[in-house]
Amino acid sequence: MLRRVFPRWSNIGPRCDAPRVRRLGVGAALALVCLLGAGGGATAVALAGGAAPAAQPTYQSVRDSQPYAKGGSKTCLRCHDTAPVTDVLKTPMGVAADSRTPMGQYGCESCHGPSGDHAELKMVDGKLILPPILFEKPHVAAGVEATSVAAQNKVCMGCHQGDMPINWMGSPHQSAQLACAACHTTHALKDAVLVRQSQPKVCFTCHQDVRAMSYEYSHHPIREGKVVCMDCHNPMGGHGRYQLKEFTVNQTCYQCHADKRGPFLWEHQPVRDNCTNCHTPHGSNQVRLLKQPQNFLCASCHSAIDDHMGGTFGGAGTIPGGNQTGTPFVSSMISNQRACLNCHSQIHGSNSPAGEFFFK
């Protein structure tokens, strides 16, 4: 073929030299064919209008185009036959008789993708072909990482399309590129994040600041197992701020503190506005989860000059006998360590006709 297309090259073999090419007046493109050596024949075919040789498949393309394993999950379990892999068979996801579960569809490959080549231990470039979907970095040295978060979550969302993920899109956890497998463990007899005793430990993996607050003097009994994160928060995305289960902070607090809901004849406006005006929910060094010492917290609002609180926390009023406002009990609040709630005991609201000042 080469001699018919280029008759002047009849005496030029694979090891032609550059001077001879120049004497023959061959152009740069044809000189390249000569310099390719023994592969020149295939290149000449391409120059003559023939089909180029097919590109070799890459490792990733082979992973993504595998067939399903012939024996399904039975084939997978011939090698992956120990816990925690086999623990999934003892969970709701492992009920083969239920067509809604992974094991009731394509078995292991429902989540990990078609893995027929992997099951037959086929290799590419000396590397074992792995399943297309990996939820963590493989232990086999194949030069690949865990599958992207988007691809992982797409697998989970293929089945979980009910009420749970309805607020997931746009939620803080989704925006932070958090994978479902970062919190949930499918290959476990009990998913730790769904068990009350172990749930806080899973959340504390990321929320270290909340863990620290749970050790404060006053705290919700999270570590004691009486209150857990999902009692207040919806990790899949809530209706309001902080991924709360209810629309507002107060509605969330009222789930347990129903006695503070009211309505009251005499309302305390900061209480009706937001519980966190006075309380910090995760933990505090003050009693009753208060944000500040009690008297200072009240004084942050009640600090008018004609109010006895104003003189208590500033100026001469803080010195016994140095009161300049004419009210005899101003300085004694600090000197006698009295607290506002000693008198205003119904601070969340009062139903007494005489409860205007929350005395009773």
- List, for residues 273-303, the tens digit of each pLDDT value: 999 999 999 999 999 999 998 888 888 887 6
User: What would the mean pLDDT of 157-176 be, rounded to a whole number?
Assistant: 83
| 68 and 123 share one domain | yes
Sign of CA dihedral 84, 89, 91, 94: positive
pLDDT band at residue 304 using 50, 70 and 90 as cut-offs: low
- Round to whole Å and give the CA distance between 224 and 226: 6
| 338 and 280 share one domain | no
- Round to whole Å and give the CA distance between 257 and 276: 14
Q: Is residue 182 part of a domain?
A: no
Contact 248, 240 (CB under 8 A): yes
| 286 and 200 share one domain | yes
The answer, yes or no, to whether residue 324 has pLDDT greater than 80, is no
| 9 and 27 share one domain | yes
Flag whether the pTM goes above 0.85. Answer: no
Which residue shows structure tokens 């009640």?
302
Residues 6+ apart with CB under 8 A from 350: 264, 265, 266, 356, 358, 359, 360
User: What would the mean pLDDT of 318-337 be, rounded to a whole number?
Assistant: 51
Closest CA to 2 of 47, 36, 69: 47
The answer, yes or no, to whether residue 121 has pLDDT greater than 50, is yes
Q: Is residue 54 part of a domain?
A: no
Residues composing the chain: 360
Look at residue 17 in the predicted model and tell me its pLDDT: 40
**Partners of 124 in beta bridges:** 127
| 87 and 153 share one domain | yes
Mean per-residue pLDDT of the chain:
80
pLDDT band at residue 253 using 50, 70 and 90 as cut-offs: very high
The answer, yes or no, to whether residue 335 has pLDDT greater than 60, is no
| 266 and 302 share one domain | no
The answer, yes or no, to whether residue 271 has pLDDT greater than 70, is yes
Q: Is residue 179 part of a domain?
A: no
| Residue 263 domain boundaries | 190-290
> pLDDT tens for residues 122-145?
999 889 999 999 999 998 888 899
| 129 and 199 share one domain | no
Rg (CA), the chain: 37
Lowest mean pLDDT among 62-71, 182-191, 258-267, 293-302: 293-302
> pLDDT tens for residues 1-51?
433 333 333 333 333 344 443 433 434 433 333 333 444 444 444 444 555
Look at residue 182 in the predicted model and tell me its pLDDT: 94
Count up the domains in the chain and report the number. Answer: 4
Residues 6+ apart with CB under 8 A from 196: 225, 228
| 279 and 339 share one domain | no
Look at residue 20 in the predicted model and tell me its pLDDT: 40
Q: Is residue 165 part of a domain?
A: no
H/E run at residue 349 = strand 349-350
Q: Is residue 173 part of a domain?
A: no
| 286 and 312 share one domain | no
* Single residue among 290, 311, 346 that ends a domain in this structure: 290
The answer, yes or no, to whether residue 55 has pLDDT greater than 80, is no
Q: Is residue 171 part of a domain?
A: no
Look at residue 312 in the predicted model and tell me its pLDDT: 52
Question: In this structure, what token pair is assigned to residue 289?
Answer: 């989860």
The answer, yes or no, to whether residue 320 has pLDDT greater than 70, is no
| 257 and 296 share one domain | no
| 195 and 285 share one domain | yes
Q: Is residue 102 part of a domain?
A: yes
The answer, yes or no, to whether residue 305 has pLDDT greater than 80, is no
Burial of 252 (0-12, 13-18, 19+ CB in 10 A): buried
Contacts of the segment 76-80: beta carbons below 8 A, 24+ positions apart: 76/107, 76/108, 76/109, 76/115, 76/119, 80/108
| 195 and 241 share one domain | yes
Q: Is residue 163 part of a domain?
A: no
